[in-house]
Structure 1
Amino acid sequence: MLALKNLAENTTIFSRSVRLMGTEFNFDLVTDNAVWALQRIESAVNEINRIEKLLSTFNEESSINLINRNAGIAPVKVDAETFKLIDRAIQISALTYGSFDIAYGIPASKEHEGTVVIKTRTLKKKISLTNYTNIDLDQAKQTVFLKNTNMRISLSALARGYAADKAKVTLQMEGVSSGVINIAGDLLTWGLQPDGSAWTIAAADSTKANEIYSHVEISNMAVVTSVNPDLVANRAVINAESGFPVSAIKSISIISPTAELSGAMTGPMFGMGINTGLYLVNKLNQIACIAVDDHERVYTSKHIKL
């Protein structure tokens, strides 16, 4: 939750909520002019709508669909913005050892769907042919090529965070010096509160929202939190090999300079587990995390002081 200080005289926080990209975006701008703030928010909304159209797989003319239609056939020249986003996605995949991956595979044929049993070896081979390592980028020609015919890519895991980042840049360029963009509970902040203090979150267990255990300053940072629905619903996580319940992450919050990076890193943390995830985060600059396990124990990276 966002922890607000008392507002300075003649300055307020103007808020507006808009449903975009299938979720609620809330804009909180520090201002003394509500009409001006509303105009700035309209600019941010237009930018988010542009990003959605650019990256959507529902847009037949998008670069993503063009890349997917030419999988295994030919490289596709794309706009610089999409190319750079795919490039960053591949870097995150490499950083997380494939736990994050924008590539996926589709069935080679539906002719025998439901009747063919895929052997383990065949499945592993199929996965190896349809992961991020088989996305070929040509920096000079600005092309993207999926090496396997059955490969596809989706930027949905990055889209909302990237759109929020671009909306923030739009607001800053139009003179908004301080604000918060809230994307269904995930926060992107810049500047300071009206009284000159930093933006702050009250950290809490996702299942006990009123029990605050710490405050964390997040000015000029993005905070994305994900929860494990099985653990929130009190369903045990079972080790596939032993058959016994195992300790697991209930919620993870990633703090970094961009909503794109914070959003991309939450999923891999669940897969890697607390120890491996913290080890990875501790090696990186300008990124931190707070994790809560199924025994209500709180873990933080070295950059967080609770």
Structure 2
Amino acid sequence: MRFSRRGFLGGSGAMLVATALPAAGSDLLQIEGPAFGAGWRVRVGSGADAAAVVRVITGVIASVDAAMSPFRAGSEISVFNRAETLDWQPLSFQTLTTIAEAQRIADQTQGAFDPTLGGLVGRYGFGPITAGPEGAFRDLTVGAGGARKAHPRQTLDLCGIAKGHALDRCVAALETLGLRRFFLELGGEVAARGLKPDGTVWRAAVERPLPGQVAPQCVVGLTNEALATSGDLINSYALAGHRYNHIINPQLLAPSDTALASVSVFAARAITADALATALFAMGSEQGPAFAQAAGLDALFLSRDGPRLRQDITGRFADWIIWG
């Protein structure tokens, strides 16, 4: 499934209609609905309570959107961004934990993931934050009940990590319903628990990121992992011989512009996989695989090589490949 990363927290509000359909095989039920301008899909055993699944998933989506969407004027992040103050500002626990993980990944990747560069994302046409960036991720202080800026006009853009947070919360919500075996997709990122009712692993396709080609590069199996992909196939444009996309290279303060087309990352939590995929893409086709290999990250890099794709695999990613 193709979804726009920047469209994820677009605040569509279209979360009232969902469907429950038989999946392939009579022992599976597929429940799906719209979210954030994209969509979600759950595959679970046919005995699951579809109405309860819809209720908890849409509840999580509404909560995350209200807290972290920079497209909503009344969201926590938008209010935080507009407040030109160095005082502590109250934020919810979910927003603070997302910011804390964003800072952790920023430290781990030596700033390749930086949630304070939303102004540059907007400047290139991919987001609503248009003010120039002030400071960096280390300049933000997070406390028990809020956060404090080091620069009055500092802003936060959590679109590169909030979808992963939402996916983790959806997983937890399904588990509160007593579900232990399911596959969940949210805006193209996936997570799974247990095995399918027939005893096999859940399967997900990593898309081949080439224009005009809707085909899998490989198929992977999941049991208790999350998988996130970042790329420039959807959110990009070409102008005067340069390719511009929504992922900023913090070293250049400009969109990442290398041969890299997509990065897919396995992790125990979707929030971690989401942010790491963004960071590794920002690093580019050479530095990204080198960093991932040194750090032991389970990642798949697909880079443009003329009309073909070059594939680089790091960590244990190959262990999950079923086909391709």
TM norm structure 2: 0.71
2:6 is aligned to: none
CA shift for structure 1 position 81: 2.5
1:148 is aligned to: 151
The structure with more helix, counted as a fraction of residues:
1
Which one scores higher on RCO, CA 8 angstroms, separation ≥ 6?
A: 1
**Alpha-carbon separation, structure 2, partners of 1:24 and 1:98:** 30
Q: Which runs of 5+ in 2 are unaligned?
A: 2-22, 121-131, 244-251
Q: How many aligned residue pairs are there?
A: 269
**Alpha-carbon separation, structure 2, partners of 1:204 and 1:58:** 28
2:276 matched to 1:265?
A: yes
Residues 200 and 219 in structure 1, CA contact (< 8 A), matched pair in contact too: no
Q: Deviations over 1:123-151 (max 9, x none)?
A: xxx86x4211211223xx54311111221
1:112 is aligned to: none
Q: Which amino acid aligns with 2:228?
A: V
Change (3 A) 1:227 1:105: closer
Q: Deviations over 1:139-193 (max 9, x none)?
A: xx54311111221112222222211110110001111111112223321211111
CA shift for structure 1 position 265: 1.8
Q: Which amino acid aligns with 2:43?
A: D
* Partner SS for 2:114: coil
* Partner SS for 2:161: helix
User: Comparing 252-261 with 63-72, which one deviates more in the overlay?
Assistant: 63-72
Q: Which runs of 5+ in 1 are unaligned?
A: 108-125
Runs of 4+ more than 4 Å apart: 58-62, 230-238
Residues 113 and 282 in structure 2, CA contact (< 8 A), matched pair in contact too: no
Q: Deviations over 1:12-63 (max 9, x none)?
A: 221122111221111212x2325x1332232221122122112234555543
2:22 matched to 1:22?
A: no
**Residue of 156, 168, 180 corresponding to 1:165:** 168
* Partner SS for 1:294: strand
2:110 matched to 1:100?
A: no
2:124 is aligned to: none
TM norm structure 1: 0.75
CA root-mean-square deviation: 3.2
Residues 41 and 171 in structure 1, CA contact (< 8 A), matched pair in contact too: no
Residues 81 and 156 in structure 2, CA contact (< 8 A), matched pair in contact too: yes
Q: Percent of aligned pairs with the same residue?
A: 19
Residues 265 and 277 in structure 2, CA contact (< 8 A), matched pair in contact too: yes
2:287 is aligned to: 276
1:117 is aligned to: none
